[in-house]
């Protein structure tokens, strides 16, 4: 790959003061190899690295940039606010306006509070659930990611090997935190029912992405989310939708609007901040009242509801609310899905495309069945994906540096961008799969 020298030099420099030279692990590109990229600037659908190479961006800030980079209305809103101050330690009218817009967007929501990240949002939502129910256990799903707080990185103790042998994704998680988490397979109603039959009286909440965006892209099966709503009602547990990625991605508001299912609590992030740091937890006033003074659940943050964030968020939601916005995104997603599917069929590439709206995933495996859970995800051909990622990077297309992250389309992608991307994808996989099959 040409023009690596400045990026490579920057990351070498960064490693002197920052672990791996990055402040978030996937930026190191360790899962796909090659030198990581350092961005210089971005506009619309394009990112330009420090060596001047331009990429059509399908990473899109891991889904945060639904409008693309440096959208003029968002950039102007941030700039105007910066002239008035970047942080006050006081409330602002913009906080209330952004809150009102989000509450009005989603039938399941009566109140909201802002934080600075999705991690904080989900961490606080689970704390509220434990407070409200007086229970400790949280049920989540294998392969899902809900931020890096202790409780949400925890996994049950491996009791067969003794309590010192943990299956956590991170060291440093206490034994008590691991005892407070239960795991089920995504889309597996029977396993969820079995867990509730054994632990239902101790489960505070079920935490779920309505469609899983951290296993590549795994759609929830018909009836699965409703089964979670039914069983949580039956046992008096809360249902928490993690919409940090899906909120305002598929429709204006929470995807719960499309499902016709009201969760008790919902978390947001990414899109509602217009590309600035943001998180929010929301839901019925009964539950949100617990973080009010005297409510018993503590949460605070110096930069929560930051003026730059609320300015960017309001500007973004104004654009998203315009007639036809999501119809146009749907049309782009449908076209990309059709082109990839027909291209794969034409070259006997056995990979399958999954899509909802502007989020897509390619299952790198020989199967006509869509991915349904994390066991399926791990059957994929990670080596071929690594070569594919490098091939597309060389051709000027930026994808998430992990097979377990989806492809994000944005409003900024042009027809030419999408045509070039689908052609490059089919060509690369035709060559790579032929080499593997041969």
Residue 258 contacts residue 251 (beta carbons within 8 Å): yes
* Active-site choice (55, 145, 186, 287): 145
Q: In whole angstroms, give the CA distance from residue 41 to residue 140.
A: 37
Tokens linked to 332: 């782009």
114 beta partners: 280
Cα Rg of the chain (Å, integer): 22
Kind and range of the H or E run holding 334 = helix 325-346
Is 145 assigned a catalytic role? yes
Is 20 assigned a catalytic role? no
Tokens linked to 168: 């956590």
Kind and range of the H or E run holding 320 = helix 307-320
Is 235 assigned a catalytic role? no
Three-class SS state of 397: strand
Distances (CA, A) of 191 to 188, 312, 379: 6, 42, 20
* Active-site choice (35, 188, 242, 262): 242
Task: Give phi and psi for 55, each to the nearest 5.
Answer: -125, 140
Q: In whole angstroms, give the CA distance from residue 283 to residue 368.
A: 38
Closest CA to 209 of 236, 246, 180, 248: 246
If DSSP states are collapsed to H, E and C, what string results for 269-285? EHHHHCCCCCEEEEECH
Closest CA to 187 of 222, 224, 155: 224
Catalytic residues: 145, 242, 270
């Amino acid at each position: 790959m040409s023009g690596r020298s400045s990026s490579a030099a920057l990351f070498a420099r960064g490693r002197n003061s920052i672990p791996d030279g990055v402040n978030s692990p996937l930026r190191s590109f360790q899962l796909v190899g090659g030198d990581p990229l350092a961005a210089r600037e971005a506009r619309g659908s394009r990112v330009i690295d420090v060596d001047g190479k331009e990429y059509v961006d399908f990473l899109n800030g891991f889904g945060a940039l639904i409008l693309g980079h440096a959208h003029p209305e968002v950039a102007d809103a941030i700039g105007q606010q910066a002239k008035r101050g970047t942080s006050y330690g006081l409330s602002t009218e913009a906080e209330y306006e952004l809150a009102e817009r989000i509450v009005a967007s989603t039938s399941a929501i009566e109140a909201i509070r802002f934080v600075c990240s999705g991690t904080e949002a989900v961490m606080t939502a689970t704390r509220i659930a434990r407070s409200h129910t007086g229970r400790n256990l949280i049920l989540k799903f294998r392969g899902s990611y809900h931020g890096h707080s202790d409780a949400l990185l925890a996994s049950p103790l491996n009791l067969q090997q003794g309590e010192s042998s943990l299956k956590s994704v991170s060291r440093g998680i206490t034994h008590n935190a691991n005892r407070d988490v239960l795991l089920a397979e995504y889309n597996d109603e029977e396993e969820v029912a079995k867990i509730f039959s054994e632990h239902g009286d101790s489960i505070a909440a079920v935490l779920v992405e309505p469609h899983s965006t951290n296993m590549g892209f795994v759609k929830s099966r018909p009836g699965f989310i409703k089964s979670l709503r039914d069983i949580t009602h039956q046992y008096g547990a809360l249902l928490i939708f993690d919409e940090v990625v899906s909120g305002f991605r598929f429709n204006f508001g929470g995807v719960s609007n499309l499902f016709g299912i009201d969760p008790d609590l919902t978390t947001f992030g990414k899109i509602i901040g217009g590309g600035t740091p943001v998180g929010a937890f929301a839901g019925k006033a009964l539950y949100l009242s617990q973080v009010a003074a005297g409510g018993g659940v503590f949460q605070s943050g110096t930069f929560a509801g930051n003026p730059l964030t609320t300015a960017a968020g309001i500007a973004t939601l104004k654009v998203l609310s315009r007639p036809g916005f999501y119809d146009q995104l749907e049309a782009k997603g449908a076209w990309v899905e059709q082109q990839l599917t027909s291209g794969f069929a034409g070259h006997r590439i056995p990979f399958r495309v999954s899509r909802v709206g502007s989020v897509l995933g390619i299952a790198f495996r020989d199967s006509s069945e869509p991915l349904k859970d994390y066991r399926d995800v791990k059957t994929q051909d990670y080596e071929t994906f690594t070569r594919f990622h490098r091939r597309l990077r060389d051709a000027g297309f930026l994808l998430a540096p992990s097979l377990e992250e989806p492809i994000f389309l944005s409003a900024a992608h042009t027809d030419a961008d999408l045509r070039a991307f689908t052609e490059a994808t089919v060509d690369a996989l035709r060559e790579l799969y032929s080499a593997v099959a041969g």
